[in-house]
């Protein structure tokens, strides 16, 4: 074993510097700084090089983490980057926004011995950011070119990962998206302070430079039919994500000033990208965000940065049951967000047609329900009032109906697309699906994984189509 490793006993865990909350509240810039070279090497050397690497097992991409940590500690940064990029199409993006505490870092063995986990995500980010800086990330030049093509609906992480893998193998790829920019939720959902949009755009630019064709502002089902797409391409991948916002069920839920989360976040991201957006912001307002997931955390922190007078988050369960990333919740608290746990909206009041307050019930945790999750029940006569000029609903997302896009496709009882779990093929021949539209609302790293896996099977499918075509031509 290299002397450079197992330094966790002598070297403390050290994350890249985080900007002070008073400073970062004033802008939309990322809040974590970069590792300097020496720090990255030092932190990588803390890895204990486990024989059975639990970090790798708990990374959805099964990234070869111990190997690239060792290469980093030895100063072999280009090789470390190559090892990390071999299994991940966007390592610098995952390094920034994966909930590492629930994935790779959450299973780091040295954490169990009280030494603090290896900072895997930050090192992954450092490796790729360095690769971009040094010019090691180049457009793809496929070794062979095939004439057959794949149409991908959705330019989110699932669609983009699949596009890259398929182009790498030499297929012609066209990605269709209804938005004016590629990236899916990476560009229009997740705010800039978590993921700088330049990081996303340099990835999509590389794919364009690699010969992938992007057709933007194209709503498949409305601007072009699904059947037309199947005529044009020998395989189609549906990677359309999930966008039907769950609604609030209480009196006043549709009052003026009550808005769903995604349009609020999209408008904020568009403003950051330089677009002229007329819609209202949170500036000067008392903002109440309802929900406890990543979307809710992004809304409260966006409202803070837009200059809200106050920001309150109402969540009906307790902090332990919150689905949002622990790290992002802690960041929101530092930035001044008031969290009211075990609080559920009972009614939204308005004054002259505009929202004025939220009446909430105090809740308590009840028995486990059929799903194994604790139920919540309202505590009688325990309501309280929160003043509000803007209420943001961040209660999660379900899949949109497939009617209008493709009627005959099989869906699950949750409305997600039914696929063969190994091949990602739907009930329609040569039509595949990946990402949130098959898993339900999930994580970027899972979308990448599914995009890669689907691409592998699309590749096999196209190869056999080619062999069959050649056989027919020879007969
Ligand atoms: C606010 C928010 C914050 C999040 N934060 C995190 C985080 O910090 N970390 C993390 O890991 N995950 C996070 N997630 C989850 C993550 O963003 C998703 O799991 C991931 O983006 C799913 O990828 P996807 O490619 O399946 O779909 P998406 O990223 O949703 O992309 C789907 C694309 O398909 C396009 N599309 C849909 N229908 C059509 C159509 N008919 N025609 C053409 N185009 C169409 C859409 O415009 C979109 O661009 C967050 C989600 C949200 C909403
Ligand atoms: S992709 Fe995510 S889970 Fe996997 S090593 Fe990177 S940060 Fe950890």
pLDDT tens digits for range 28-70: 999 998 888 888 999 999 999 998 999 999 999 999 999 999 9
- DSSP annotation of 8 reads G
Residues 364-383: what's their mean pLDDT? 85
Per cent of the chain over pLDDT 70 is 99
- Quick check: 1 pLDDT over 60? no
Q: Which ligand lies nearest to the CA atom of residue 439 in the structure?
A: 1
Q: How many CB atoms lie within 10 A of CB 33?
A: 12
- pLDDT interval class at 368 (50, 70, 90): confident
Find out whether 59 and 65 touch, Cβ atoms under 8 Å.
yes
Please give the backbone phi and psi of residue 411, each rounded to the nearest 5 degrees, phi first.
-120, 160
Over residues 8-17, mean pLDDT: 87
**Strand 354-368, strand 343-351: pairing:** antiparallel
- Residue 455, token pair as written in the block: 């691409």
Mean pLDDT of 373-391: 91
Q: Which residues line ligand 1 (CB under 6 A)?
A: 97-98, 153-159, 176-179, 184-185, 189-190, 194, 219-221, 239-241, 265, 294-295, 298, 405, 435-436, 442-445, 447
Helix axes 65-73, 37-44, angle to 10 degrees: 130
Distance 121 CA to ligand 2 centre (A): 6
Classified as helix, coil or strand, 259 is strand
- For the entire predicted model, the pTM comes to 0.95
78 CA to middle of ligand 1, Å? 30
Percentage of the chain lying above the pLDDT 90 cut = 81
- The whole-number average pLDDT for the span 280-302 is 96
Residue 473 banded pLDDT, cuts 50, 70, 90: confident
On the question of pLDDT at 348 being above 70, the answer is: yes
First to last CA, the chain: 60
Instruction: Please tell me the distance between residue 248's alpha carbon and the centre of ligand 2 in angstroms.
Output: 33
pLDDT, averaged across the chain: 94
Q: What pLDDT, on a 0 to 100 scale, did the predictor assign at position 474?
A: 76
Measured CA to CA, the distance from residue 393 to residue 292 in angstroms comes to 10
Ligand at shortest distance from the CA of 331: 1
Q: Which atom of ligand 1 is nearest to the CA of 446?
A: 19
Q: How many angstroms separate the CA atoms of 180 and 197, rounded?
A: 14
pLDDT attached to residue 190: 97
Whose alpha carbon is nearest atom 1 of ligand 2? 94
- For residue 166, the model assigns a pLDDT of 98
128 lines ligand 2 (CB under 6 A): no
> What are the DSSP E strand ranges found in 137-226?
149-153, 172-176, 213-215
State the sign of the Cα–Cα–Cα–Cα dihedral 281, 284, 290, 292.
positive
Are 92 and 132 contacting, i.e. CB atoms less than 8 angstroms apart? Answer: yes
Least confident of 153-162, 362-371, 389-398, 445-454: 362-371
- Atom 8 of ligand 2: nearest residue by CA position: 104
Does residue 120 line the site of ligand 2, with CB under 6 A?
yes
pLDDT at residue number 135: 97
CA gap 461, 441 in Å, rounded: 28
Q: How far is the CA of 94 from the centre of ligand 2 (A)?
A: 6
The predicted pLDDT at position 22 comes to 95
| β-strand partners of 471 | none
Q: Averaged over 76-105, what is the pLDDT?
A: 96
Label residue 3 by pLDDT band (50, 70, 90).
low
Encode pLDDT of 128-164 as tens digits: 999 999 999 999 999 999 999 999 999 999 999 999 9
Q: How far apart (Å, rounded) are the C-alpha atoms in residues 95 and 93?
A: 5
- The alpha carbon of 88 and the centre of ligand 1 are apart by a number of angstroms equal to 17
Residue 370 has pLDDT above 80, yes or no: no
Bridge pairing between strands 338-340 and 310-314: parallel
Q: How confident is the model at residue 401 (pLDDT cuts 50, 70, 90)?
A: confident
Give start and end residues of each alpha helix (H) in 273-325.
Answer: 294-305
Q: Give dist(CA 382, CA 361) in Å, integer.
A: 6
What domains are there in the chain, each with its CATH number? 7-134 (1.10.1060.10), 149-242+399-474 (3.50.50.60), 248-396 (3.50.50.60)
């Amino acid at each position: 074993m290299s002397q450079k490793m197992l330094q966790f006993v002598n070297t403390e865990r050290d994350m890249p510097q985080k900007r002070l909350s008073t400073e970062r509240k004033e802008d939309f810039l990322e809040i974590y700084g970069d590792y300097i070279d020496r720090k990255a090497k030092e932190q990588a050397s803390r890895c204990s090089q486990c024989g059975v690497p639990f970090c790798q097992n708990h990374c959805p991409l099964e990234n070869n983490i111990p190997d690239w940590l060792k290469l980093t500690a030895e100063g072999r940064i280009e090789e470390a980057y190559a090892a990390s990029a071999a299994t991940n199409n966007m390592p610098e993006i995952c390094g920034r926004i994966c909930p590492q505490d629930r994935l790779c870092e959450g299973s780091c063995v040295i954490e169990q011995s009280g030494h603090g986990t290896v900072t895997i995500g930050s090192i992954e980010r450092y490796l790729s950011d360095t690769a971009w800086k040094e010019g090691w990330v180049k457009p793809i030049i496929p070794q062979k070119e095939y004439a057959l093509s794949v149409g991908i609906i959705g330019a989110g992480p699932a669609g983009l990962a699949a596009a890259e893998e398929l182009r790498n193998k030499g297929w012609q790829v066209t990605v269709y998206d209804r938005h004016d920019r590629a990236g899916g939720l990476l560009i229009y959902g997740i705010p800039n302070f978590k993921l700088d949009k330049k990081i996303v755009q340099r990835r999509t630019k590389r794919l364009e430079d690699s010969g992938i064709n992007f057709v933007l502002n194209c709503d498949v089902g409305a601007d072009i039919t699904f059947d037309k797409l199947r005529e044009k391409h020998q395989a189609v991948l549906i990677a359309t994500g999930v966008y039907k916002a769950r609604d609030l069920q209480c009196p006043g839920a549709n009052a003026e000033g009550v808005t769903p989360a995604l349009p609020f976040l999209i408008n904020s991201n568009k403003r950051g990208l330089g677009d002229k957006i007329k819609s209202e912001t949170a500036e000067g307002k008392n903002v109440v965000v309802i929900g406890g997931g990543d979307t809710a955390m992004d809304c409260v922190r966006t409202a803070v940065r837009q200059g809200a007078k106050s920001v309150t988050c109402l969540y009906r369960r307790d902090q332990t049951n919150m689905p949002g990333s622990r790290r992002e919740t802690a960041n929101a608290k530092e930035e001044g967000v008031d969290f009211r746990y075990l609080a559920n909206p009972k009614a939204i009041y308005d004054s002259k047609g505009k929202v004025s307050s939220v009446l909430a019930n105090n809740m308590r945790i009840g028995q486990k329900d059929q799903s194994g999750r604790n139920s919540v029940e309202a505590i009688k006569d325990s309501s309280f009032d929160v003043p509000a000029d803007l209420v943001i609903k961040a209660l999660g997302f379900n899949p949109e109906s497939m009617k209008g896009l493709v009627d005959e496709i099989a869906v699950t009882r949750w409305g997600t697309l039914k696929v063969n779990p190994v091949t990602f093929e739907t009930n329609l021949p040569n039509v595949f699906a990946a990402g949130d539209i098959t898993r339900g609302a999930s994580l970027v790293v899972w979308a990448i994984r599914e995009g890669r896996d689907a691409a592998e099977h699309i590749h096999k499918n196209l190869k056999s189509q080619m062999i069959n075509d050649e056989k027919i031509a020879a007969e």
